[in-house]
Amino acid sequence: MAAAALAAFMSSPHPSRRAVLRAALALGAAAVLSACGQDRPAFQGSDITGTNLGKDLSLVGTDGKTKTLADYSGKVVVAFFGFTQCPDVCPTALAQLAQVMQTLGADADRVQVLLITVDPERDTPAIMREYVKAFDPRFEGLTGTLAQVRQTAGSFKAYFAKSPRPDGDYSMDHTAAFYLFDAKGQTRVLLNNSASNDVLVHDIRALL
């Protein structure tokens, strides 16, 4: 429409400068919007671009050093909240992500899977390292003080809480979802932990 308007103005006997300028600006705006639409990938999960979820991630990695999203720049990041003594959901999710990495083949080298603990009292960097790397040696486990974990979880709008057991021990209730970040560290996709391998592979590849 903007292109047609510009052509009409230019073909008229005496087009005013203001009219031509307006048409040219409209054409430029339409081109920009069209380009944005073409560049935006189609995700099968929920598109959460622009929410900035997880931007305040700051925890301790398996090497004992503080990690932020900047440390994974250039890679697509898949983050998941869990804990090493989780009986079902967490190991199932990590086993699934290990399969996804195999499916990605060489592209997996540009993907970083992060397990963010919700049980920092028991999950030390050494325990996290042994746990996550049993699924895939490229996986990273993040822990820290309770305050650090709360800050990071809050940044993700993720929930976690202790769940006491009759034997006096405890388990952890927590948000179970996959958060996908692009290579620039921007939050892009949210997937339920019931998402299939094909969906995960699709959305990760869309970000590569």
Q: Could you tell me the CATH number of the domain that includes residue 107?
A: 3.40.30.10
Same domain, 202 and 131: yes
Q: What is the pLDDT of residues 49-106, one digit of tens each?
A: 999 999 999 999 999 999 999 999 999 999 999 999 999 999 999 999 999 999 999 9
Span of 6-10, 168-172, 198-202 with lowest mean pLDDT: 6-10
Same domain, 145 and 167: yes
Is position 36 annotated in a ligand binding site? no
Domain encompassing residue 14: 2-39
Whether residue 32 is predicted with pLDDT greater than 50 in this model: the reply is no
Q: What is the pLDDT of residues 129-156, one digit of tens each?
A: 999 999 999 999 999 999 999 999 999 9
Same domain, 84 and 183: yes
Considering only residues 3 and 130, tell me which one the structure prediction assigns the higher pLDDT: 130
Same domain, 29 and 79: no
The predicted structure's pLDDT at residue 41: 78
The predicted structure's pLDDT at residue 129: 97
The predicted structure's pLDDT at residue 24: 38
**What separation in angstroms does the CA of 126 have from each of 63, 64, 82, 109?**
8, 8, 16, 23
Same domain, 31 and 59: no
Same domain, 56 and 151: yes
Same domain, 82 and 22: no
Same domain, 166 and 147: yes
Same domain, 145 and 190: yes
Same domain, 104 and 182: yes
pTM above 0.85, yes or no: no
Q: Which DSSP state fits 159? A: -
The predicted structure's pLDDT at residue 22: 44
**What separation in angstroms does the CA of 131 have from each of 17, 42, 136, 162?**
69, 34, 10, 20
Same domain, 74 and 12: no
Give SS3 for 52: coil
Q: Which DSSP state fits 85? A: T
Q: Give the number of domains in the chain.
A: 2
Which candidate, 146, 172, 206, 156, places its Cα nearest to that of 85? 172
Is position 86 annotated in a ligand binding site? yes
